[in-house]
Amino acid sequence: MPFPIPSDKIERRHLIDGEFCESSDNGTFKLSSPYSHEKIVDMCEATVEDTNRAVAAAKAAFPGWSITDPTVMGAHMKKLAELIKQSTNELAQLDAMSMGRPISSYFDAMMAASHFEHYAEAAYEGLGTTSLNTPGFVNMTFRQPIGPVAAIIPWNIPTLMFAMKLAAALAAGCTVVLKSSEKAPLTPAKLAGLSKEAGFPPGVINVLSGHGTPSGSTLSSHMDIRLVNFTGSTFTGRKIQAAAASSNLKKVILELGGKSPAIVFEDADVAQAAGATVGSMQLLMGQACIANSRVYVQESITDKFKEAFIANFKAAKKGDPLLPETQQGPQADEIQFERIKSFLQSASEGKGKLELGGNATQVDGQGFFIEPTVYSDVAEDERTQKEEVFGPFVNIYTFKTEEEAVAKANDTEYGLYASVFTKDISRALRVAKAFESGQVGINCTSPTFAADMPFGGYKGSGQGREGYGYSLDEYLEVKSVYVKIDPA
């Protein structure tokens, strides 16, 4: 079936200094559908020169934007939020085309719009303080924007990530250069056009498409960028941190991988726990750092839980992500598909028991599909237990005691999301406190989170926090000002 949006209607260029433009060397990369494998469009590939131009535009726009009246800032963001809502169907189709996200599970546009709506009022929250504690002085603090910043976003939820990275930065008075992922550049390019339509001044928002090298690495080491906000793999996060340290010691916010556990106690509602953890894994075909890829079940209910989990997990309808009845689309691209297959091979050679799936597959002879896969009793040191698979792959374990379950859940270098299912509130709170994780769900799991709560990870899952009331602080520097008063 033909794509619902033809290639000549798709924005494929960079937005730099308020204008769409081709790459400086006219370079492009081919974007293909992970379902049909057909070519969608040739996207512009950002060069070092393009990246430097975008940074220069952000730097030039910063002095004016940083002192813009908050009411004016808010008007632009409210207009952008409205345009995003109006474009919901097109944004859903673009993500389905580029990275296989089923339109049936597309909630990103409304959440993105709500982010811009919130931060449209948030510029007034960047308040300083005063102090009369020093005799003869009135002292105060200013909170001022850090400068031009870079945002490097992932491919799994690009619309929402566009909003999460930009809205707080813009409200703080920063200008932004955003680089999209080469796997899912269509929605960020569309959003770039909407930001232009919303009336943001040239250079305030700049959007590039392309690979991590050269554009992402150039942003990470650029001397005129004062902060990098990155969501993606831990491997790349380390490289960005190193580049930031070796250049101008720019601030770095990182939201990285996860190996998110769920603990299900024998007093839990088994059907509810199974449904919630399956829903977590079905989100984005398992391509979510907050997905429950490790589930620990108390031994007395293990068989009952596995039966319910497997029945739910295998029920998802695979197919064309552009069809409303599809619940499981293909993996994002061939690279991701082959990576998950390597984990399937590792698992088949390990000590665990295959309970479901275990194979790559196709729908109507096409698509990068992976069967929903469940293993039990996998050794704690096996690859599928230690590394992030980022696909529909779950390890289920049996435990006897609370202490055993918590110890195993925390035995990872990741710490992004964890869940506990029990009717005992005291136990639930004990376990929540014991989890080494930035988010904890009690009788719920990902993608449950609240916009007014901080989002971020422990350990190798990152540093910094995002969310209403938290993101703004990341983009503001604090300055102490001392005012000497003449004695009476």
Catalytic residues, by residue number, are: 255, 289
Distance CA 415, CA 107 (A): 25
How many H-runs (helices) and E-runs (strands) does the chain carry?
Answer: 15, 22
Is 219 in contact with 51 (CB distance < 8 Å)? yes
Cβ–Cβ under 8 Å, residues 252 and 238: no
Note every long-range contact of 473-477, with CB atoms under 8 Å and residues 24 or more positions apart, other chains counting.
474/168, 474/227, 474/229, 474/251, 474/253, 475/145, 475/146, 475/149, 475/168, 475/169, 475/172, 475/173, 475/174, 475/227, 476/126, 476/143, 476/144, 476/145, 476/146, 476/172, 477/143, 477/144, 477/145, 477/146
- The answer to whether the beta carbons of residues 122 and 171 sit under 8 Å apart is yes
Q: Round the CA-based radius of gyration of the chain to a whole number and report it.
A: 23
Identity of the residue numbered 94: L
Report the C-alpha gap between 58 and 53 in whole angstroms: 9
Q: Report which secondary-structure segment, H or E, holds 468.
A: none
The Cα 296–Cα 76 span in angstroms is 47
DSSP-derived secondary structure for 266-313: TTS-HHHHHHHHHHHHHGGGG--TTS--EEEEEGGGHHHHHHHHHHHH
Calculate the alpha carbon distances from 212 to 52, 149, 184, 238, 389 in Å.
15, 17, 13, 13, 21
- Per the CB < 8 A criterion, the answer to whether 50 and 24 are in contact is yes
Contact 357, 406 (CB under 8 A): no
DSSP code, position 320: -
CB 76 within 8 A of CB 199: yes
Q: Are 398 and 378 in contact (CB under 8 A)?
A: no
Contact of 234 with 460, CB cutoff 8 Å: yes
CA atoms of 63 and 256, how far apart (whole Å): 32
| Side-chain half-sphere exposure of 188, counting CA atoms within 13 A | 34
